Each structure stands twice: as C-alpha cells, then as structure tokens.
C-alpha cells in the first residue's frame, strides 16, 4: 500500500488529466483514440472514440437548415445538452479507469482499488481485477459497454428534465418511430458501416447496440477500413469528416467548435449503480452482426427525406 501523499498524488494526477481531456466532444474523442493507439488491448477505447464522433455529428446536425426548420431553438438546445451531458458523463467515468490501468502497467501492479475515488462502480473494480489476471480483452470491452450505459441511465435517461423535455417530446418519438438516428462507423470510401438506434431510452437496447457496433468494428472484413479512417481523418464534429468521400446533394454540418461553446458541468456524486441494480445475464451475451451492416444508403435515404421536406417548405413559404 501507499502512504497518503503518494495516494493523493495519484488521485490528483488522474483527476486533472481527466479534466484536461473532458473539455468538449473533440477532446474526448481524441483522448479515447490516442489511448487505444497506445493500448490496443483495450478495444472499448476505439469503439468509444467512434461513438463519440457520432455524438459530435448529432450535435452539429442541429445547425443544418432542416433541423432548424423542424425544431425550435429551445428544442435544439435541449437535444445538444442531452448529447453533451451523456458524452461528458461517460468520459468522466471511463477515462479515470483507463488512466488507472495505464498506471498499473507502469508500476507493474494492479491499482484498481483506486477506482472508487473516482466514483467508478464496484462492478468495474471487479472486472478490471479479473482482466489483470486473465487478459480477456473481449470481456473487459463488454464490461465497459455495460458499465457506461448504466452510468448515464439515472443522470440522463431517467433524469426528470431530460425525461420530460427530451424523451417525452414529439421529436424524439418521431425519430424513434422512423429510426432516423444511427451510429456510423465511417471509412475513406462510400462504404458506411454501423447500426440504427432504436429505443435509446432502453438500457438493454443501448447495451445491445454497443455490442453490435463492437462486433462490426472488430470484424476482420471491416476493421482495417474503419481504423484507416480514424487514424487519418481528424475529428471536427462535422459529418464532412466522412461525407467528403461520398457524393451527396446537400451541405455538411458545421465544425463543432464554430457553433458550440465549452460547457461547464456539475459532477454530482454518483451512486454505485451495481449495488443498486446489479446486472442481467443477457447483457453478457454476444451480439452478432446482421449481414455486412452497410447502412449508409438507408441512412442517407432517410436524411434526403428531411432535406426534401425542408426544400418544399421553403418553396411554399416563397
């Protein structure tokens, strides 16, 4: 064990480095991917960087003319805060875990007893110790998927403001009904992999989605293409990052830092979700890919309907 001075040093180091990288969607996305490049055995970190890219795309979509037409300013601000809050919360929970793992490797001993200082669930303390002994890369990836979706369940999905003002409003119901939203895994070609988001408010559905995306990402037929995109294409928050490889008839969303300020968050003490609710056995089940998961054509067919609606409305407005 360590004396209090050494312990406080570790805690301050991890806390400060997490704050440094938890500024906005750009810094979070970059931090996840940089960590994966250094420690590719933590497969979740690459997956998290790609999901975080999509959070940025969803944020800047709100500045596209069709979304400005269909949604009021307050509705768009609330949707942005939903994406931002979830993105921030997951990073504030996950990145300290990654840093504790890195520190454990540097000192050649497991330091996962430090995780409760960062309000990390007892579930992940157990899983990191298991990973240290077994090096089971798939299990720790699934454990992180399960954990992070539980982390946002109470503070975002079930939080009274977001529940009433976002998830119980018409735009969310319509988006869910038409399955308009998707998590895309881009490449430097016209091939867009990914999966459509359905029933986002369901914890189990979000966990299943995460496992499905992981299955697509780490398939031998897709990994190299997606990795090449992530390695060579800087994340700006704009869909232009990947749409430049497509032939599309409508404009790309703006760069994130051109339209959104840095948001200050209050980090309330989080309850240990594992002690309160435990886990379901089915969360550990593998989620197989459905075909080749080229969803770009279907995704942009749906988006073209949104733009068509906008252009028709603009013509009739005269």
pTM value is 0.94
Task: Report pLDDT for 177.
Answer: 46
Tokens of 166: 């976002």
Q: How does pLDDT run across 26-63, given as a tens digit for each residue?
A: 999 999 999 999 999 999 999 999 999 999 999 999 99
How high is the mean pLDDT of the chain? 91
pLDDT above 80: residue 131: yes
221 or 287, greater pLDDT? 221
Residue 72 pLDDT grade (very low, low, confident, very high; cuts 50, 70, 90)? confident
Radius of gyration of the chain (CA): 20
pLDDT above 80: residue 144: yes
The contacts of residue 13 (CB under 8 Å, 6+ apart) are 99
**Rounded CA separation 86/177 (Å):** 22
Q: How does pLDDT run across 258-281, given as a tens digit for each residue?
A: 999 999 998 777 889 999 889 999
Percent residues over pLDDT 70 in the chain: 92
Residue 113 pLDDT grade (very low, low, confident, very high; cuts 50, 70, 90)? very high
Residue 66 pLDDT grade (very low, low, confident, very high; cuts 50, 70, 90)? confident
**Rounded CA separation 114/146 (Å):** 20
Contact 182/50 with Cβ under 8 angstroms? no
Centroid of chain to Cα 71:
23
For residue 155, the 8-state DSSP code is I
**Rounded CA separation 270/85 (Å):** 14
Task: Report pLDDT for 307.
Answer: 84
Task: Report pLDDT for 175.
Answer: 61
Q: Compute the average pLDDT of residues 292-316.
A: 82
Q: Which of 156-160, 206-210, 286-290 has the lowest mean pLDDT?
A: 286-290
Burial (CB < 10 A; 0-12, 13-18, 19+), residue 200, is: middle
Highest mean pLDDT among 112-116, 152-156, 262-266: 112-116
**Rounded CA separation 90/29 (Å):** 12
Q: How does pLDDT run across 171-191, given as a tens digit for each residue?
A: 655 565 455 789 999 999 999
Q: Give the closest residue to 175 by CA, choosing from 306, 307, 304.
A: 306
For residue 24, the 8-state DSSP code is S
Q: How many CA atoms lie within 13 A of 275 on its CB side?
A: 9
Percent residues over pLDDT 90 in the chain: 72
The contacts of residue 22 (CB under 8 Å, 6+ apart) are 28, 88, 91, 92, 95
Q: How does pLDDT run across 35-44, given as a tens digit for each residue?
A: 999 999 999 9
Burial (CB < 10 A; 0-12, 13-18, 19+), residue 179, is: middle
**Cα separations (Å) of 44 from 37, 76, 210?**
12, 30, 10
**Rounded CA separation 131/231 (Å):** 27
Residue 141 pLDDT grade (very low, low, confident, very high; cuts 50, 70, 90)? very high
Q: What is the 3-state secondary structure (H, E, C) of 293-318?
A: CECHHHHHHHHHHHHHHHHHHHHHHC
Q: Which of 88-92, 139-143, 305-309 has the lowest mean pLDDT?
A: 305-309
């Amino acid at each position: 064990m360590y004396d209090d001075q050494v312990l406080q040093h570790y805690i301050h180091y991890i806390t400060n480095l997490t704050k440094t990288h938890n500024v906005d969607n750009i810094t979070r996305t970059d931090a996840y991917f940089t960590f994966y490049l250094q420690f590719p055995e933590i497969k979740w970190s690459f997956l998290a960087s790609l999901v975080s890219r999509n959070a940025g795309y969803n944020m800047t979509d709100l500045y596209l003319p069709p979304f400005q037409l269909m949604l009021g300013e307050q509705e768009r601000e609330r949707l942005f805060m939903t994406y931002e809050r979830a993105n921030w919360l997951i990073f504030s929970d996950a990145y300290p875990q990654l840093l504790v793992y890195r520190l454990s490797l540097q000192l050649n001993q497991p330091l996962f007893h430090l995780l409760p200082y960062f309000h990390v669930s007892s579930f992940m303390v157990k899983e990191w110790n298991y990973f240290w002994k077994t090096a089971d890369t798939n299990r720790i990836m699934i454990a992180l998927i399960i954990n992070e979706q539980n982390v946002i369940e109470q503070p975002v999905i079930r939080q009274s403001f977001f529940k009433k003002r976002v998830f119980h409003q018409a735009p969310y119901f319509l988006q869910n009904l038409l399955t308009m939203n998707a998590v895309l895994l881009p490449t430097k070609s016209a091939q867009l992999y990914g999966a459509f988001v359905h029933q986002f408010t369901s914890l189990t559905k979000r966990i299943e989605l995460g496992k499905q995306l992981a299955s697509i990402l780490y398939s031998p037929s897709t990994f190299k293409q997606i990795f090449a995109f992530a390695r060579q294409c800087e994340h700006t928050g704009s869909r232009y990052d990947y749409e430049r490889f497509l032939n599309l008839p409508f404009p790309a969303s703006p760069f994130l830092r051109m339209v959104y300020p840095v948001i200050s968050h209050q980090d309330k003490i989080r309850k240990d979700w594992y002690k309160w609710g435990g886990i379901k056995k089915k969360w550990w089940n593998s989620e197989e890919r459905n075909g080749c998961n080229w969803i770009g054509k279907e995704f942009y067919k749906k988006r073209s309907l949104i733009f068509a609606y906008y252009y028709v409305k603009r013509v009739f407005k005269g």
